[in-house]
């Protein structure tokens, strides 16, 4: 092996080598703000753009984002501060409120899903109704007589399409 091949081999190995000092997932900081990271980053970029348009400069975002953080965490609006910061905050307050509301709903749905999943995992086999194996005939006479699912009946006065619409509207109202 000549020196040119050795250099190529060493440089090729160097490129594919991953450093050992990368962070693991558990070592990463946990996001603690009550809005999503994506919204927060979009808000920051939008603030930079607004301050540039107002001819303040994008450096003002460093003064503005602590006011946003305070509003997101405690609900405290910016008090005695620069007029530009108050104007931008007033313009963006509705979007921030909507994001807070969306995030709260998403956290609530996630908690409900977690509770449902935990309840399903903790349910004992005795609590669950017995399940039939495929290819086996029912040995119990009650199982042999009762159908697996209820037959849907429609009254002759209502059309099935209107029944479906009513059911869909009821589902939308309940959520």
Q: What is the DSSP string of the chain?
A: --HHHHHHHHHHHHHHPPPTTPPPGGGSPPP-SSS-HHHHHHHHHHHHHHHHHTTS-GGGHHHHHHHHHHHHHH-PPP-SS-HHHHHHHHHHHHHHHHHHHHHHHHHHHHHHHHHHHHHHHH--TTTSPP-PPTT----SHHHHHS-SSPPP---TTS-HHHHHHHHHHHHHHH-
Domain that holds residue 87: 33-121
Q: Quick check: is 92 in a domain?
A: yes
Task: Give the separation between CA 13 and CA 102, rounded to whole angstroms.
Answer: 47
Q: Quick check: is 160 in a domain?
A: no
Residue 10 has pLDDT above 80, yes or no: no
Q: Quick check: is 55 in a domain?
A: yes
Q: What is the pLDDT of residues 22-57, one digit of tens each?
A: 555 556 788 888 899 999 999 999 999 998 888 888
Q: Quick check: is 40 in a domain?
A: yes
Q: Quick check: is 60 in a domain?
A: yes
Mean pLDDT, the chain, rounded, equals 73
Residue 63 has pLDDT above 50, yes or no: yes
Q: Quick check: is 99 in a domain?
A: yes
Residue 168 has pLDDT above 90, yes or no: no
Q: Quick check: is 88 in a domain?
A: yes
Q: What is the pLDDT of residues 101-146, one digit of tens each?
A: 999 999 999 999 999 988 888 875 555 555 555 555 555 555 555 5
Residue 8 has pLDDT above 50, yes or no: no
The number of folded domains in the chain is 1
Q: What is the pLDDT of residues 76-102, one digit of tens each?
A: 888 888 888 888 999 999 999 999 999
Q: Predicted confidence band at 169 (pLDDT cuts at 50, 70, 90)?
A: low
Q: Quick check: is 20 in a domain?
A: no
User: How large is the angle between the packed helices 61-74 and 83-122, nearest 10 degrees?
Assistant: 40
Averaged pLDDT for residues 2-28: 52
């Amino acid at each position: 092996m000549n020196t040119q091949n050795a250099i190529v081999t060493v440089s090729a190995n160097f490129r594919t080598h991953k450093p050992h000092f990368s962070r693991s997932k558990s070592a990463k900081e946990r996001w603690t703000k009550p809005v999503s990271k994506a919204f927060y980053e979009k808000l920051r970029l939008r603030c930079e753009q607004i301050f540039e348009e107002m001819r303040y400069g994008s450096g003002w975002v460093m003064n503005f984002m602590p006011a946003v953080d305070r509003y997101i965490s405690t609900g405290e609006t910016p008090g005695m501060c620069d007029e530009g910061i108050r104007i931008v905050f007033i313009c963006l307050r509705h979007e921030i409120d909507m994001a807070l509301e969306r995030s709260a709903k998403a956290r609530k749905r996630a908690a409900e899903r977690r509770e449902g999943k935990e309840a399903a995992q903790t349910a004992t086999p005795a609590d669950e109704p017995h399940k039939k194996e495929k290819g086996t005939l029912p040995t119990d006479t009650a199982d042999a007589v009762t159908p697996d699912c209820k037959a849907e009946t429609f009254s002759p006065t209502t059309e099935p399409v209107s029944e479906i619409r009513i059911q869909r509207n009821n589902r939308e109202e309940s959520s």
